[in-house]
Chain A
Amino acid sequence: MKHLRAINKKARAIGEAVAQIEAATPSDMEEDVVALQQQPRPHVPMGCTLSFSPGWEVDAGGGTAGLCQPVERDIYDCYVTCFWPVQVPDHVNYSPDWASNCATATKDWRNLDLVFP
């Protein structure tokens, strides 16, 4: 590492891993596109699916057991990490501030507002 100086044991272990990665060919790590079932898996909310499908065709595991069911599932997670804009408040288009009064969902969930798209 050239720009980071490891100053504890954990950081030194990371330094060794970085040296290995840097020794590998650049294309190994510039691979930006991640397939849904590829390791390490991207963060996918429970029972949800990524944006290629509308949410009811195939789940993050490639099966149909954990399809998107936002109403029964975690509407807050749908809002933050999923943009499927029908069932939940849409933070891209019409309700960007929906959760702004809710710093900690377990405590402030009452502050989540009603949405009239």
Chain B
Amino acid sequence: MTVMQAPAYARAEYHGFEASGSHFVYLVSAGAIFEIDADVRAVLARLDGQQLTHAALVRELSSDGTDPDEAEALVRELRAARLIQLGAAAPVMPQAPPADFPLQALVLNVTNQCNLACTYCYEFGADKIATPAGKPKYMTLETAKASVDLLINEAVGRKAVHITFFGGETLMNFKLLRDVVGYANGATAAAGKAITYSLTTNATLLTSEIVTFLSDNRVGVTVSMDGPPDVQDKHRVYKNGKGSYAVIEPRLRTLIAHHKTRAITARVTLTEGVTDVVRIFRHLKDDLGFHEVGFAPVTTGEERAYSLDDNGMDSVLAQFNILAEEWLEYALRGESHGFTNVSETISELISGVNKSHPCGAGLGLMGVSPSGDLSPCHRFTDADTHTMGHVSSGIDRAKQGAFLAKGHVEAKYDCQSCWARPLCAGGCHHEAFVRYGDTGHANLHYCDWIRQWTDTCLRIYGVLAVQNPGFLERFAERKGLS
């Protein structure tokens, strides 16, 4: 027997939160954030754990004394905004970007050599996936020029492109970097495109000439470092085991004092025993003067001596929350705080991203190894199993397509019911490969963490939307979002 049932309303997928005495929903199918009033809450409460037909819902709402026409209009509004839906719909997934999505940025691994031997390094450490044996250690100018040409040709329709210099230790090949900037400035100008640069360095080889060059060319600088001397010298050591803090400190001071054209950022890797987030932040921000400081837990496979365990992660999250609270206090006063982990999430929330892929790897961004092999991003350079073409022969579309199909959030079963997926989309492809042997695997080891952190940032967003919306607007402008 076929039973005909009247279609009934159910709540759509959302994450509700409160901030500053107001109620909000984060609508998962879109990445939209709405402040909701008491009437909306009444509808959502009625649909908690049950479905109601249109007639029944309107009837129940008007039984509280609400005017039936008002109730009708309310239900229509929520349905039009897709906060409620008829029946339990399948999760809505963002569409994949078109196959000819234009390139926006290249990460040039100008060398795979490094003068430090950080114990946790993903490029050289126990979990390395690179297979550099027999390949060039330093990128040649010819390869670098071919990379620039490829970037310009593949950035169809883009007004601006970006090059990030990376290593190894990037500054071990500073001569090349200088020459490439000269070449790329000319080539992009001829192609009618703007170009910006950034680089990541361990700071050991910075000199005042280099700093002047970086400042003159508006090269954004990210310094990989871990914190004050005792923390820095734990893992970030020379091959003979000697710590690097004493070497980098004066160089950092020169950098921060003289590089005035772009923000100088520190990026900290959190490991077992290096979880003192607040103290590290204070040192890098207040003592050394970095403009922005961002933190990321180390990427590891199975248990390594330096992996963060659950206790470590809990302590990290607790301290993130302290800094997030500070970030909010600064923002309410209209000031910028410098804790990158909040700033990044807030800019994604402002535009309401709804990602098909966790990041631009293999999409708008690619890595180039010293030999000219293309890979999804800098973390896959020199890993034979992940090459995606070569700068001289172009992007291997079949390999790129396979990588992107695997990495699409729709292909990750566990993410289908997760409210944080518009921002997370399963997380870093490289981390997934190191952990699970599959770039398309959801990073399930940090889901709770991601959801808690996203909730924290949503609440910050909510407070600002109520108490200082102007800050969010200025923040969007400064970040170039509109």
Contacts and interface: CB of A to CB of B under 8 A. Distances in A.
**Secondary structure call for the B interface:** mixed
Nearest to A106: B413
A106 B438 CA distance: 16
B76 A5 contact: no
Interface string B25-54: 001001111111101100000000000001
Given A14-B81, A29-B80, A32-B7, A43 B40 contact: no
Interface residues of A, number: 30
B32 A51 contact: no
A22 interface: yes
Given A18-B81, A29-B76, A32-B7, A8 B33 contact: yes
Contact of A51 (B2, B86, B89, B90): B2
B128 interface: no
Contact of A43 (B80, B81, B90): B90
B81 A1 contact: yes
Interface string B81-92: 111001101100
Contact of A10 (B87, B352, B413, B465): B352
Interface of A: 1-11, 13-15, 17-18, 21-22, 26, 29-30, 32-33, 42-43, 51-52, 104-106
Top 8 A-B residue pairs of the complex, sorted by shortest distance between their CB atoms: A10-B352, A11-B32, A43-B90, A5-B35, A7-B465, A10-B32, A21-B80, A4-B34
Given A4-B36, A5-B34, 20 more contacts: A1-B81, A2-B74, A3-B36, A3-B78, A4-B40, A7-B469, A10-B351, A11-B34, A11-B352, A13-B32, A13-B352, A14-B32, A14-B82, A17-B80, A18-B81, A21-B76, A22-B76, A51-B2, A52-B2, A105-B413
Interface of B: 2-3, 6-7, 24, 27, 30-37, 39-40, 54, 73-74, 76-83, 86-87, 89-90, 349-352, 354, 413-414, 461-462, 465, 469, 481
